[in-house]
Amino acid sequence: MQELIESLNNLNESDFFGRVNLHIHTTCSDGLMKPEQVLEKAKDLNLKIISITDHNSIQAYSNLSIEGYEEIQLIPGVEFDCWYKSNFIHLLGYGIDVSNLKILNLCAKSSCATKLDLVRFLNQRKAKDVIESIKEAGGCAILAHPACCWNINIKKMIMELGEFGLDGVEAYYPYVRHRGIVKFHTVKEIISIAKELNLVMTGGTDCHGDNLAVG
């Protein structure tokens, strides 16, 4: 995990909006592209590092071959819906062992819990359990799109999540569609908090469509 964190710390804003995309959804949750199509698109765009982060699912990594795409570093990932107190949040797990039993137990048991917003919202996962499971699976835990978390004191929440082992925040994120409208904090504020707390900063487009360059 430490090696991955060091690798992520060596990336900057221009990387995340250029050659790196660590927030991608496929047909294994609510995306439009199959995992194999993601690899093909990434190759076309000359991306060097990517992560498929389906909602509550690691199905994309089942039998996914990177043969022919060796120039792309594929970091195993997932995006879990969960709750912290009264806050509905998304936690990204990177570098996880996709065969880890705790991760598998956290994953959705039906496609509805990966695709339908209402079902995902009604989940019973707790942030503490999710973070601890990600860490036990050898991964690092990142708070997704923090600028639109429904929490007035976002710094306090991030610090409290840090007590559970949170490693970082998603700082380089386009905030398109509804998240571009419903935002409680600025990206500048999130980056400032991350620097103050010495957190990893990651990024990606949160792609749900067929273009990895946009959200």
pLDDT digits 0-9 by tens, 98-107: 999 999 999 9
Q: Which of 107, 87, 83 has the alpha carbon at shortest distance from 96? A: 107
What is the set of domains in the chain, with CATH numbers? 2-203 (3.20.20.140)
**Alpha helices (H) in 97-136, listed in sequence order:** 101-106, 112-115, 117-121, 127-136
What is the spatial distance between Cα 139 and Cα 191, in angstroms, rounded to a whole number? 22
Residue 9 buriedness (CB in 10 A; 0-12 / 13-18 / 19+): middle
Please report the pLDDT score of residue 184 as a whole number: 75
Contacts of 157 (CB under 8 A, 6+ apart): 84, 87, 149, 151
The tokens for 121 are 């919202």
The tokens for 124 are 């019973």
The percentage of residues in the chain with a pLDDT greater than 90, rounded to a whole number, is: 87
Flag residues of the chain having pLDDT under 50. Answer: 180
For residue 61, give the 3-state DSSP assignment.
helix
Please report the pLDDT score of residue 64 as a whole number: 94
The b/e string for 27-51 (b: 16+ C-beta within 10 A; e otherwise) is bbbbbebebeebbebbeeeebebbb
The percentage of residues in the chain with a pLDDT greater than 70, rounded to a whole number, is: 96
Each residue's pLDDT tens digit, 46-68:
999 999 999 999 999 999 999 99
The tokens for 125 are 């996962």
Please report the pLDDT score of residue 152 as a whole number: 87
Please report the pLDDT score of residue 177 as a whole number: 62
Please report the pLDDT score of residue 37 as a whole number: 97
Identity (one letter) of the amino acid at 86? Answer: S
CB 99 within 8 Å of CB 8: no
Q: What angle do CA 144, 150, 153 make, to 5 degrees?
A: 95
**Beta strands 200-203 and 87-94, pairing class:** unpaired
